Structure 1
Amino acid sequence: MVTFRTGVEDDYDEVNQLVQRAFLGDPGGREWDEERALFEPARSVLAVDGDQVVGHVGTYTRELTVPGGVLPAGFVTVVAVAGTHRRRGLASAMLTRQLGDIRDRGEALAVLWASEGGIYGRYGYGMASRRLKFDIDRREARIDGSRFDKSRLDGLRLQAGPAARHRDEITEVYEGERPIRPGFAGRDARWWDYRLADQAWHRGGAGPLQAVVCRDGDTALGYALYRLRSSWDDSGPNGEVGVMEAVASTPAAYLTLWDFLLNVDLTRRVGMWLGAVDEPLQYLANDPRRLGMGLGDGLWARLLDVPAALSGRRYAAEVDVVLEVVDELLPSSGGVFRLRGGPDHATCEPTAAEPHLRLDTATLAAVYLGGNSLGSLAAAGRVDELHPGAVATTAPAFTWTRAPHGLEIF
């Protein structure tokens, strides 16, 4: 008989073996120190058959930047069920229990990366951000700085080398940008250890993890993390730059970093898998078609405490609306709420007033980070307009200055 329990520290190895099998990986010959340090057994739910772990869902304790604020959130991870125990409701039982645990800890929402996008909508998750993939032929693409004030580049300099050597500067830039970019996550020392880990198996056939830092004097203004892959064909060098992340606090630093990445000797392609949907590179390139852009899903979110989540963010325009939120999985998390907010204030509380809009929790999560249009979701039939004009007056409020950006897989 399968039973469920909370994890303990000694579960890590068996959980890791389960997850590697479920995701078609091979744990042999690897060191797992950085991953082990992230394991939070008290936030794991395990399915156990006899003495065998046959299912697992985990949660990381981190902060998430939302429009105009930073909130504690449950970062859902390593969801796996053994192939021998599929179709028995194990995942449903674990994920439902996990959502209750996250809510009980006072975290207003959960976020995750979906291995299969069709799964998590059943549990109230909505696709809250998107990502752009870039596959750039650098022989055809270049930075067009003709409309850029060149004086803003004066004094900027670059320094490149092993990523670990630049950890302090990278952390400084990231922490400066994190509070203002929806989708960015808190990174303590353990998470920086994980992000900058450079074991051979992390590399996927590419070289060591590198960083390039852009400075103005002693001040770091931006950085990029990347790997180089050497390749040659009959026509000569055919190397690749694989960009993991590029973060900058000024447009000049961003332009300088990308000008470097697009001009690495002996390379012909530049790729980035987790670009922002509003990546400024699109507007700096001489020909956007040469960037080889492809759209994919990013962070999925799930609201668990609607008043706390909606009052914890800010709104691009003044809004005063009554929302009926339907939560079929966790009915106590739904209800009717009055939201009043703007660029510098927000309150949300239960109300007995008649609702203006009705939507389910997955739809509310989809607009929560500002990555999707309430109007588009209404056009898809996912928002019921109970008061004429409510969509048009509410939709602008849920936008934001920058699109949400899920910068890392967790």
Structure 2
Amino acid sequence: MTTDLRVLGRDEWDRWYERLTLAFGGVPESPQERRLWDDLTEVERALGVWDGEECVGTAGAFSFRVAVPGGAFVDAAGVTMVSVAATHRRRGILTSMMRRQLDDVRDRGEPLAVLTASEPAIYGRFGYGIGTLQAAVTVDSSRVRIEGPAGTDDVRLRFVDTAEAAERCEAVYVRTIGSRPGNLARSPGWERLPLLDPPEERHGASPMQCVLAEREIKGSGATSVEGDGGRRAAEVVGFARFHTKPDGEHGVPRGRVQVRHLHALDPAAYAALWRFLCSIDLTEAVESRNRPVDDPLFSLVSDIRRCAVRVRDSMHVRLVDVGAALEARTYLTPVDVVLEVEDAFCPWNAGRWRLTGDAKGASCERTDDAAELALSVRELAAAYLGGTSLAGLAGAGRVRELRPGALAEASAAFGSVVAPWLQHGF
């Protein structure tokens, strides 16, 4: 078979995207969503594989910055829209696209590549490890109470028009993203993604609703809002976007609240938003498909057994430049360890690296010193954001300790105060 792998031309986007849609089941997206991806796609970073006039492979990348432990943001390629036509499987097309893409990422100087996988078993052979997890949660709100901290009752909640409040909600998002590794700093245009609400994808639920959490403050610079005694100054301290889906049986209401996004600047605002969602009339359950695995919600509910939780993989991480990536983050405890890294797909990473660092910074350089831990770049990627411990990977036989004590030292250092989390896909 003779195929042509090349950077996508703008005039080829429609054919390329239609092939991508077919590979993912052939169900067309809403016009709104298709327009958004048309606008956001970085055509100069999109690859197509062509068999004559037919597109048989697609792969793209977005230019992102990803939060890492310590609060810094690191340049990363957001790998996306990867597909191979069903007629052209097992012919090396995916491997050729991954090869070209990672070479391009390296040439651009991006230390990381990240992706969300439709099938998580695919990408390990290309050096990707599972860097973040997400929890799907269903709260039995008919029996569970939200027990908020002091100050919860001081938070004012009010319905707002979703589009009109978008800028204020985005400001809250921006203030929170550095607090968890894995979050993405949204480039211009990406603020449109959380506002997508095509009617054909609601499946009987309401249009997206939005509630702001506000706290009255004194002084200038505050937002003026309506209060019982007229207008007063308030600060937006959180928001929730959600749908309600009516349901019932024999006259008994059994509706559900479907949470799309919820962010808050402090514990009281966070609790106030969840308490509101769990008390909406005519509903008996609150569900969210994507929360961090250490969500404070689990400490707010009165009965965790009545909160069904399911955990799955979320963002897969690939260290494209081991030295630069490890230097970009900080470490919970002091670490000085020599890593023997295996990387068959990106051999420039293979070999020994001395990592020294602490909570203030790090260096990672080539060394001829004796190795103290041996692992592949896939395991290093899984541990990079602090969500997977090196000790846990060693328990699975995927990390080898070559110096006694090195594993405990490195595993503690690579940890994160909070679990990494990817708040939205791409």
Q: TM-score, normalised by structure 2?
A: 0.92
Conserved? CA contact 2:153–2:272, under 8 Å: no
Tell me the amino acid that sits aligned with residue 142 of structure 2: R
Residue 128 of structure 1: aligned partner: 131
Residue 30 of structure 1: aligned partner: 31
Say yes or no: does 1:21 pair with 2:22: yes
- Among 107, 111, 114, which residue is 1:108 paired with? 111
Per-residue Cα deviation, 1:206-235 (whole angstroms, up to 9, x for no partner):
221222221113322112221221223224
Q: Which secondary structure state, in structure 1, belongs to the residue aligned with residue 165 of structure 2?
A: helix
Report the Cα offset of residue 286 of structure 1: 0.4
Conserved? CA contact 1:128–1:368, under 8 Å: yes
Tell me the amino acid that sits aligned with residue 50 of structure 1: G
Tell me the amino acid that sits aligned with residue 168 of structure 2: E
Distance 1:183 1:212 in 2: 26
Report the Cα offset of residue 339 of structure 1: 0.9
Residue 420 of structure 2: aligned partner: 404
Conserved? CA contact 1:108–1:309, under 8 Å: yes
Conserved? CA contact 1:212–1:224, under 8 Å: yes
Conserved? CA contact 1:111–1:301, under 8 Å: yes
Per-residue Cα deviation, 1:155-182 (whole angstroms, up to 9, x for no partner):
3211223321211111111111112211
Distance 1:284 1:116 in 2: 33
Q: Which secondary structure state, in structure 2, belongs to the residue aligned with residue 17 of structure 1?
A: helix
- Among 70, 73, 88, which residue is 1:70 paired with? 73
Report the Cα offset of residue 193 of structure 1: 1.2
Residue 357 of structure 1: aligned partner: 373
Distance 1:195 1:399 in 2: 30
Residue 179 of structure 2: aligned partner: 180
Per-residue Cα deviation, 1:295-322 (whole angstroms, up to 9, x for no partner):
1111110001011111101111111111
Conserved? CA contact 2:30–2:198, under 8 Å: no
Report the Cα offset of residue 186 of structure 1: 1.5
Moved more, 8-17 or 264-273: 8-17
1:278-317 matches, cutoff 5 A: 278-317=294-333
Distance 1:25 1:201 in 2: 16
Report the Cα offset of residue 28 of structure 1: 6.9
Residue 211 of structure 2: aligned partner: 212
Per-residue Cα deviation, 1:5-35 (whole angstroms, up to 9, x for no partner):
0012222211221121111142176342111
Per-residue Cα deviation, 1:79-121 (whole angstroms, up to 9, x for no partner):
1111111111111110121111111111101111111111010
Report the Cα offset of residue 337 of structure 1: 1.0
Residue 50 of structure 2: aligned partner: 48
CA RMSD of aligned residues (A): 1.4
Residue 86 of structure 1: aligned partner: 89
- Structure 2, unaligned stretches of length 5 or more? 217-233
Distance 2:16 2:202 in 1: 23
How many pairs were matched up?
406
Moved more, 214-223 or 269-278: 214-223
Change (3 A) 1:260 1:154: closer
Residue 351 of structure 2: aligned partner: 335
Say yes or no: does 1:320 pair with 2:336: yes
Report the Cα offset of residue 205 of structure 1: 3.4
Distance 2:120 2:211 in 1: 34
Distance 1:303 1:372 in 2: 15
Conserved? CA contact 1:143–1:284, under 8 Å: yes
1:136-147 matches, cutoff 5 A: 136-145=139-148
Q: TM-score, normalised by structure 1?
A: 0.96
Tell me the amino acid that sits aligned with residue 175 of structure 1: V
Tell me the amino acid that sits aligned with residue 169 of structure 2: I
Distance 2:125 2:105 in 1: 17
Q: Which secondary structure state, in structure 2, belongs to the residue aligned with residue 292 of structure 1?
A: strand
Say yes or no: does 1:378 pair with 2:394: yes
Report the Cα offset of residue 248 of structure 1: 1.4
Distance 2:387 2:286 in 1: 26
Distance 1:162 1:16 in 2: 32
Conserved? CA contact 2:127–2:345, under 8 Å: yes
Distance 1:160 1:99 in 2: 45
Tell me the amino acid that sits aligned with residue 88 of structure 1: R
Residue 199 of structure 2: aligned partner: 200
Say yes or no: does 1:277 pair with 2:277: no
- Structure 1, unaligned stretches of length 5 or more? none
Q: Which secondary structure state, in structure 2, belongs to the residue aligned with residue 246 of structure 1?
A: strand
Distance 1:184 1:405 in 2: 6
